[in-house]
Structure formats: structure tokens, C-alpha cells
Chains A and B, each alone.
Chain A
Amino acid sequence: MTGPVATSTTGATTAAPAGHLAAQARALVAIGRQSVRSALAVRSEVLVSGVAVLVRVVLVILVWRAVYGSTPEVVGVDRSTAVAYAVLGAVFTNVLNPFWRSSLEMRVRQGRIAVDLLRPVGLVPQTLAQQVGTTAAAVPRCVLAVLLALVIGALQAPAGGVLGLLAFAVSTVLGVAVALLCNLVVAMTAFWTLEVGGALMVYRAVAQFASGALIPLWFMPGWLRGTLEWLPFQAQVFTPLSVYFGTVRGWDAVGAVAVQALWVVLLALLAQLVWSRALHRVVVQGG
């Protein structure tokens, strides 16, 4: 009885690394695609979120143009930069701080977490794959919004040509990673309290403001800006946009991107720590 089982297990372990990883990757891609699909499942929702971001972009353009009035420049920021920043800020926050409730919280709430833990793919990668999927589903409407802003002349191409565009792309990817990890850590509080609704709302509000998505850090009083620069939120939006507008360039830009990367590492470690605590809690106390 034990003979064949033992052989098959050893067989599996020798074959495991490559095959196992590939299977995991396939599973994650499937989860991601599934969440893209479910984000696009209800037509009215897709249409509404598309129109919503377009309307918001138009409204922020109007507000910022009015705020400037005939003043050409405030604290060294000219009108067209401020307007363009507001456009991109609205687009970024639309993707990074959605009202969605994390799938993790739902799973804990419904008591499905114990089952999820048994799956071959880790729960954290599962959750991240879902978030990446939902984020990806938001890309088309954001592209549309950016195109609209370009057409009505509220947005210019990024500073620094191709290199600038490349730097912006790298910084955006890191910004998205920071946002996803922050979301993940907040969602994991679901393991300690089922009442994460409030926490998520607070997080969303703080992230929106502190990331510079509503108003660039340039305009903030010195003490506030000084504080926010020590927090991970500015790495989500303010850093990529600063790269886009060339307000940080050259080695400064490299430094800013390095700070983002550092945040990614720190948040990943934090998520890992919180996760191991959460796992311990589930194992010891039951899901």
C-alpha cells in the first residue's frame, strides 16, 4: 500500500519545480483573466464607468482652468501643467483606488478561506492576480480618457521624449505595484475583523489625497508635503506624474524610481509578515 504512494510522491517532487511553477503561473493567468471577464460582464457597468471617467476628466479640467484664471504660474507650476496633472491624477486614481471590495475580504467573510488555503496556488498570489485583472480591465477606459484630454488640448506628451516616456512607464508600473500591495495589506485586516468596510474607506480617502491624485504635492504647504514624502502613497501617483512632467529628471528621476522600488520591497515584506500572522490565526483559531 505505502510502496506505490511513496514512489509517486518522490516522482512528483523531482518533477516538481518546473512543472509546478508552470502550473501555478497558468492558474494565476486564468484567475487574472477571469477577473477581467467579470469586470466586463455587465454591460451597463462598463458603459457607466467609461462615461464616468470621461466626465470626471472634463470636470477637473474646467475646475483647474478656473482656479488658475488668468494667473500664468503659481509656485512655479504653470496652468497647462496643473491642468494636465489633474487629468492624469483623475485617471490614475480611477484605476488605483477603486471602490471595489477586495476578494480576500469576501472570502474571509463567507468562510471560504479554508478552502482557498488548500488550493495549489497561494492565496496572496490569487488575490494579486485578481487585482491585476481588475486593474487591467480599467485600462481601456483610461486610454479613452487620456485620448480625450489629448484631443481637447489639456494634455501634452511627456517631457524628455522617448526616454521620458520609458521612465514614466517604469514608474507607473511601480506605482501600480505599490497601490496593489497597499490594497492587499489593508484587505488582510479582514483576518482580524470582519468590519473592514470602514478601514477600506479610510484607506481609499487617505490614499487619494496623500498620493497626490487630487492635488499635486507642489501646492501643499511645506510641512504637509514633507510628511507625505515619507509615506508610500506618493509613490503611487505623484512620482510617476512628476516623471511625466519632467519636474524630476535625470538622476533625480532614477532616485525617485528607486524609492518606489524600495517601497515595493518594503510593502511586499510587510504583506508577507501580515500574511504569516493571518495564516497562523486561521490555522490556530479556524477560518
Chain B
Amino acid sequence: MGATAQPMIRAEGLVKEFTRPVRRTGPLAGVRSLLTRERVTTRAVDGVSFTVDRGELVGYLGPNGAGKSTTIKMLTGVLVPTAGTVEVDGRVPWRDRTRNARGIGVVFGQRTQLWHDLPLRDSFELVAKLYGLDQPDYQRALGRFTELLDLHEFLDTPVRGLSLGQRMRGDLTAAMLYGPPLLYLDEPTVGLDVVAKARIREFVAETNAVDGTTVVLTTHDLVDVERLCRRVLLIDHGQVLYDGDLAALRRRYVPYRDLVVTLAREDDGPLVAPPGTTVVERPRSARDTARVVVFRFDPAQTPTPAVVAAVTAEHEVVDLDVTDPDLEAVIAEIYSSGRVRA
């Protein structure tokens, strides 16, 4: 993160266009598309620029078809950009693909990088051999990741027999075995249960903190983002909508915070809203045994401790919680408006 260090990723004016033949419908569609040569060009990525510093953990977000995967494919050297430049660790990924591949780990939540018919352990051994990891190093790495991700139970199970969560842990190990300084994660928690998600997040956070691995995370799960990323890149229609601090983004959209309190007694007299707050009555659910009240306030105007102090002074409170507005709502609004508010 030093000012002199070269960034891990530098993308400038990245563009990727795809040209595909037009598919026809209607009568004799087959014959007609046989005879014509009409093609259509679409711009999946349209002038994307950003840098990622060493050791950063960046969330790369966008709706389906926004150009996320295409960008990642250009960063990993799978696709050649139509225009613009990209450098990863000082290398042009597609031109120096092999060397780039040795320096990156890639995990796709949707499809595994492991060998279907082989036991997990054999997949790891293959990865070690293909990346030139020495036997002692491999043994150390295997021990380390087996411990960290708790792989003991299924190391000798063929990959096709693993549960989704186990497979993800296997994929993460395969991607980190050779200690790449850069890790791409594409939907790493998709389809996992809460416990499995938490385990993956913990591992990613630790890899980032301990190994200093730079992480680019693509996900639809905003909990992933909230737990892991300080910085986010929002992309839609192939263009960057927002690049910056997650907290700042949230502040800009919903400049309020909620203090949720559970009152000790049903009949606690009239509610007193401290200055700078408004009361939002939460609709009662059948499960609520006590009265729950929400005080909404702007933390920039009224500091959170002041609100808490004021509320607890007026009412007898059994429980309280301070919540930030839903990130999902923020993102949804940005996508629907197509831009980020100034």
C-alpha cells in the first residue's frame, strides 16, 4: 500500500466486445440463418479503469450481465481485451499467460477447478506438480490448509462425491496451495449454508490478513461484501458506477441509522423521542413478546452514544441494537437508477 509500490492490478480503459451471429426466430428460421451472415456486436465491458493495491480486498459487484465475469476473464488472461490495457503484478495477463497463471489463484463457485474423478488429495498433488511446488513445501501447505479448512474427513473422497461446501473448501485449497499473491473469488459462497459461508469468509479474511494476499471478490451475497470488503467496485452495463469506500457509499444513500430497542414493559407511558431522532414503530410480529421500538437518526448530526444514552434515560430497556440500513437496498437503487448519487 506504499505509494511507491506498483499496484497489484491496473486496468485502464478496458473494453471487450463480442461478435456473434444473429439468431433468428419464426418460420424457416434455420434455413434463413443458414443463408445470412448477419452478426451483432455487443460491448460487455465498456471502458473500465481501476487499480487494486497489494493486500487490498476488493468487492467487485454488479447485476448479472454487467460485465463482471468478462472483466475477471481479462484480468486472469482468459480473454484478450478489445481495447485498453491491463497489468497484473506488472505483467500483461494474456500475453504472459503462463507466468500470470502461476501468480494467481482462481475459485469459481459455480464450477470446480478440481478433477471430478479423483480424490481431493490427488487433485492437490496434481496442482502442486503443475505449479512446481516442491514436495516438502507441498506437504507443509497440505497440512496447513487441511487444518485451516478442516479437510481431514474428505481428503480421500472423489470430488464428485463432495458436498458443495466441501468442494468449495477443496477449491480454495487448490487455489492457495502454491501461495499466489492474488486471489480471484467468483461467487465463493453461492448455494452454501450459513455455517459454510461463515467458514469461507473467515478463511478469505485470514488469507488476506496473514498472507497479505490481494483478493478480488465477485459476489451476489452482500453479507460477503459487508463482512470482507472495505472497498467496492460497482459495475453495470460494462461501466464502473462506483469505486470507493463501502461505508461512504452507504452514508451517501441512506444517511441514517436505526436504534432498535426492546422495552421492558408494554405500558411504558408515551414514547419520548430524543432530539434528532424519529420514532419508527415496527409492525408487531406474533413472536414479539415485548414492545420493540425503532429510533431513526442521522449519525453525522447526532452521535450514536448520545442517542443510546437519551433513550435509556427515558425508558427501561431490555435489549438494544444499532443497525445500518440494508446494503441490498442501496445497491438495488444504484442499479435501477444506473448511476451513483453525487
Contact = CB atoms under 8 A, between A and B. Distances in A.
A and B touch in the complex (CB under 8 A): yes
Interface of A: 36-37, 40-41, 43, 46
A37 B34 contact: no
B313 interface: no
Interface string B3-38: 000000000000000000000000001110110000
Interface of B is mostly: helix
B268 to A, nearest CB: 48
A2 B199 CA distance: 50
Contacts of B29: 37
Contact of A36 (B30, B33, B34): B30
Query: What 7 A-B pairs come out closest when comparing CB atoms?
Result: A40-B30, A43-B34, A37-B30, A46-B34, A41-B30, A40-B34, A37-B29
B22 to A, nearest CB: 12
Interface centre among B30, B31, B33 (most CB of A within 10 A): B30
Query: How many residues of B sit at the interface, in one of the four size bands?
Result: under 10
A243 B34 CA distance: 36
Nearest to A37: B30
6 contacts: A37-B29, A40-B30, A41-B30, A41-B33, A43-B34, A46-B34
A36 B30 CA distance: 9
A37 B30 CA distance: 6
Nearest to A44: B34
Contacts of B33: 41, 43
Contacts of B30: 36-37, 40-41
A43 B33 CA distance: 8
Nearest to B34: A43
Contacts of A43: 33-34
A41 B29 CA distance: 9
A46 B35 CA distance: 11
Contacts of A37: 29-30
Contacts of A46: 34
Given A36-B30, A40-B31, A40-B34, 8 more contacts: A37-B29, A37-B30, A40-B30, A41-B30, A41-B33, A43-B33, A43-B34, A46-B34
A36 B34 CA distance: 13
B58 to A, nearest CB: 37
Nearest to A38: B30
A37 B27 CA distance: 10
Contacts of A41: 30, 33
B27 to A, nearest CB: 11
A41 B31 CA distance: 8
A135 to B, nearest CB: 16
B90 to A, nearest CB: 41
A46 B34 CA distance: 8
Contacts of A36: 30
A115 to B, nearest CB: 21
A267 to B, nearest CB: 31
A43 B32 CA distance: 10
B165 to A, nearest CB: 22
A39 B34 CA distance: 12
Interface string B166-186: 000000000000000000000
B264 to A, nearest CB: 48
A249 B34 CA distance: 42
A149 B290 CA distance: 91
A154 to B, nearest CB: 28
Interface string B30-61: 11011000000000000000000000000000
B33 to A, nearest CB: 7
A43 B21 CA distance: 11
A37 B28 CA distance: 9
Contacts of B34: 40, 43, 46
A49 to B, nearest CB: 12
A235 to B, nearest CB: 32
